[in-house]
Every structure is written in C-alpha cells, then in structure tokens.
C-alpha cells in the first residue's frame, strides 16, 4: 500500500466514492462520516493523511484539523469544501493544512493532491506555503508534485526484468545512454515500464547522487503547469504571496522526468524547448533568466506522429527530445517474459509481507500466457500482488487467487459500470450516475436503490433534485 488515509465526510455517498477511488489506487482507506468517531479512531491507530470535509454537523473541518495539529503533528491534512473562498483557503493553509480543494472536483484532482502529499518530503510538508490560486478547486502553491531526492542506494530496488530481445537490447544500451546529458524520449503504452527505465537511466548516470524528480504532466491542473515547472515570483498571480521554486530549480544537478509530456499545453512546450536549448528559464512573473543544469527524460503513451499532426505537440520539441528514442514493447509482444516477471513480483510481495515462498501453479502459468494484458506489466504486477495476498501461507498461487474479486456492500457490477469513468468526471456527476444506475436496476424503487447503495432514500431524492435532473419529480 502507498499509505494510510483517513477520509471524513458526513455525505455518505461522496465518502463512498472517495473511499473506492483511493482504494483502487492502492491506498489503505479508513472512512468515517462522524468527526468524533474519526478522532477516536486516531487515538489508537496510525494514519499518514486525513482528508476532511469542512462543513459537518458535529464539528467543522477546521476544528478537526486544529485537533490533529495539536495531538498528531505528523499527520497531514487536506480540507474539502463546497463553500470555499480564497480567504478561507489561505487561512487553512496557514493553520497547517497541506492542501485545500473546493467542490466540485474530479476524482483525478483528489488523487493528484493525495499523490503529491506522499511524494513530498516530510520536511517540505511543514514549510509555510503560498496561498491557493483564485480559481475554485485550484491547487494551492504549497507543495511541489516532485519527489524527494532519491539516493543511489535505492538503485537496487529498481529492476527491468525480461529476456526478450528488445529488453536485452535496452539494458545493453543503458550504460551508454545514461552517461551523457542528452534528453531522452521514452515511448510505450501505459504500464510497460517507461518510468522504470527512466529511473535506471538516472541511477546509472553521474547524476545519481543528485535529485531525481518526477512530474506527472497528465495530472497537473492546466492553470498551474507553468508555475509547477518553472516556479513563480511573489505577486505573479492571485495567491502568489511569496517566491516559489519550480521543478527545474529543484532538479538542478540531477534528472527531471516529465511523465506523459504530450499532456502539457502547447504554449508551455515553447518554454520547455528554450530550457533544453539554452539551459535557462524564467519564473512566472519574472524577466530574470535562471541558468540550470538538468537532464530531461520525457515519456509518452501517445503516437507522436499523430500528436504532431493534430497540433498537440510541437515538432521542434519532439526532435529536441528525441536524441535517444526509446520504445518499451507491450507485454503481449514479449509473452515469454511473463513467467519471469510473475516470479519477480511473487518474490517482491512475499518478502514485503513476510509470507512463505510461493510459486505459480501450472494452470495459472498457462492462464497468464493467454491473457491480453491491456494494462501491460502494471496489470501483471497488480494480479500477482492480489494473488500473493489471497494465497497467504499457501505455497502455490492459483487462478482462483488472482481472479477472485473482493466484494463490498455496494453491488460490484453497478460500481464497475460507473467507476470505469472515474478519472474523467466530477465527483457529483459520479454520484448522479451511480444513483441512476441503481434506480434502473430497481425499476425506479428508491428504497431498494438506497439499500443497494448503502444510503437513505431521502439522500437519493435530495441528490436528484439538487442536480436538476428532469426525472427527479417523477420519483
């Protein structure tokens, strides 16, 4: 698990969506609709982060944060509200909130804030922050979505496993690619191992003792991309109450990984090109050039020719990045590596959980070779992770272990229909879709739909009326 998170909201439906979405992204979640019960839980249990609504009946989110700051200063807090203002957000950050997000927000936004908390060093979490941007739901400029420095001793934890000819060739090229400063563009489908290869390049280079920062360009709010990359000066925009360094500042002397670079706005791409060509940039709101020594590694899962022809990506930036073009093949093209990868993940998780040694059953090995692997190596990793946990002390992992589904109180078929679109739609729209699906399954019976969702029928009525749904008055 990536971390332990307590989420607190007296809106049970919203609470359920956040719990499901963060759990799907490998966080251990403890959900409460009562602030008093949540604080009581913290007395005997350790968590890393609390995500709390601001307006609740028993006590406010500010009061919850004040209690946490006093009793548990090592726990981070992210506040959520549908009643936010710039003044409130500034005060919340000053009082110790790590971040602040205003409803309505997308599930991608909440995941971005959470990931940023865990990617930020404990020391940086405690630094005073600038205020959030004016736009509702914009990310406060408190923390960078950049990971703390990676030490060279971490290199042994990162491996690219495989005997396929393409993988062997990439590993043979690694030392020559690593020991220079030229940009690298790594292409490949999601989950193939692009980040793994980038990490290896850094650790094989003479920059290995320097910082290694990763920016996920797909998760950056559009209004904060430039500030995140290049920093800003005080007064550059509403909420910029102090100077703030960007990713290029922080990566000076090391490596900066720009993950999914084609998601960066094309106007910002011109400034990236300047950094690569001239080794200097300007912070937002400043005319002063800053020299920088950063090696850039970029990744993308897009077809670059299509991205260029559609004017999504600058052709000149592509050629500047493409000094060392690297392509990671999808798992379906290197199926002979599946048994090796599977055993690698088995060993990884059995050690992590201190379980007995395990191996794949013959039937499971054959089953893995027949799958499509749309999620590539990441999908295999997840399946083996599940299998190791469900096998417990069994020496053999079987098909039943990796294909077993863990059910919750909410109908699983119903959740899968709606949650397949989780990263793309606002939380409120997800709620409405879930309610509509439940009503379809119960032929419009609100009481049965409410039971299916684990909420009250009154909540369903209120959600539908507040959404302005045309069919609400008919129910």
Residue 337 has pLDDT above 90, yes or no: yes
Strand (E) positions, 48-92? 49-53, 76-81
Region 246-251: what's the mean pLDDT?
A: 90
Structure tokens at 455: 């909420």
Least Cα distance to 256 among 205, 214, 201 occurs for: 214
pLDDT at 192 over 90: yes
Whether residue 98 has pLDDT greater than 90? no
How far apart, in whole angstroms, are the C-alpha atoms of residue 404 and residue 387? Answer: 9
Per the listing, tokens 């739909």 go with: 449
Domains along the sequence of the chain with CATH: 4-125 (3.40.50.2300), 152-329 (3.40.50.300), 332-403 (1.10.8.60), 412-474 (1.10.10)
User: What confidence tens digit (pLDDT) does each residue in 104-115 have?
Assistant: 677 777 888 898
Write out the two tokens for 368.
Answer: 């893995």
pTM as predicted:
0.56
Helices 457-467, 427-441: axis angle to 10 degrees equals 120
* CA 404/CA 51 separation, integer angstroms: 30
pLDDT over 70 percentage in the chain: 79
CB 133 within 8 A of CB 100: no
Residue range 192-205: average pLDDT? 94
Beta carbons of 50 and 58 less than 8 angstroms apart: no
Residue 189 per-residue DSSP state: -
pLDDT at 411 over 80: no
Peptide linkage before 104 cis (omega within 30 of 0):
yes
pLDDT band at 187 (very low <50, low <70, confident <90, very high): very high
| Closest by CA position to 377, among listed 348, 410, 411 | 348
Mean pLDDT of 16-24: 85
């Amino acid at each position: 698990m990536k971390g332990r998170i307590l989420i607190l909201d007296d809106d049970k439906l919203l609470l359920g969506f956040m719990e499901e979405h963060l759990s799907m992204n490998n966080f251990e979640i403890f959900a409460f609709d009562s602030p008093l019960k949540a604080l009581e839980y913290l007395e005997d249990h350790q968590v890393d982060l609390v995500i709390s609504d601001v307006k609740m009946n028993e006590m406010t989110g500010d009061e919850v944060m004040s209690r946490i700051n006093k009793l548990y200063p090592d726990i981070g807090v992210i506040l959520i509200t549908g009643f936010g203002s710039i003044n409130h957000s500034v005060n919340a950050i000053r009082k110790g909130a790590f971040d602040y997000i205003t409803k309505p927000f997308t599930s991608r936004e909440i995941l971005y804030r959470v990931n940023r908390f865990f990617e930020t060093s404990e020391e940086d979490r405690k630094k005073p922050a600038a205020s959030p941007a004016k736009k509702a739901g914009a990310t406060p400029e408190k923390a960078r979505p950049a990971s703390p420095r990676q030490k060279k001793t971490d290199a042994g934890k990162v491996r690219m496993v495989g005997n396929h000819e393409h993988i062997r060739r990439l590993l043979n090229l690694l030392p020559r690619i690593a020991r220079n400063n030229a940009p690298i563009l790594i292409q490949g489908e999601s989950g193939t191992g692009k980040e793994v290869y980038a990490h290896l390049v850094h650790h094989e280079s003479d920059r290995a003792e320097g910082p290694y920062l990763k920016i996920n360009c797909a998760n950056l709010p559009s209004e904060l991309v430039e500030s995140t990359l290049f920093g800003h000066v005080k007064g550059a925009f509403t909420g910029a109450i102090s100077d703030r360094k960007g990713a290029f500042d922080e990566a000076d002397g090391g490596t900066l990984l720009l993950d999914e670079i084609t998601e960066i706005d094309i106007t910002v791409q011109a400034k990236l090109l300047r950094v690569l060509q001239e080794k200097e940039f300007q912070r937002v709101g400043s005319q002063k050039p800053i020299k920088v020594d950063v090696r850039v590694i970029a990744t993308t899962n897009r077809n670059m020719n299509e991205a260029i022809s559609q004017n999504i990506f600058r052709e000149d930036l592509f050629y500047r990045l493409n000094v060392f073009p690297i392509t990671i093949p999808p798992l379906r093209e290197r199926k002979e590596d599946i048994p090796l990868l599977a055993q690698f993940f088995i060993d990884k998780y059995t050690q992590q959980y201190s379980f007995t040694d395990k191996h794949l059953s013959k039937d499971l090995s054959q089953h893995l070779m027949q799958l499509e692997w749309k999620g590539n190596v990441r999908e295999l990793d997840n399946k083996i992770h599940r299998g190791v946990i469900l096998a417990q002390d069994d020496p053999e992992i079987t098909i039943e272990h990796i294909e077993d589904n863990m059910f919750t109180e909410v109908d699983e078929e119903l959740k899968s229909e709606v949650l397949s679109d989780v990263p793309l739609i606002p939380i409120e729209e997800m709620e409405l879709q879930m309610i509509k699906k439940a009503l379809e399954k119960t032929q419009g019976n609100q009481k049965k739909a409410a039971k299916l969702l684990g909420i009250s029928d009154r909540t369903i009525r209120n959600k539908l009326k507040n959404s302005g749904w045309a069919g609400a008055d008919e129910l």
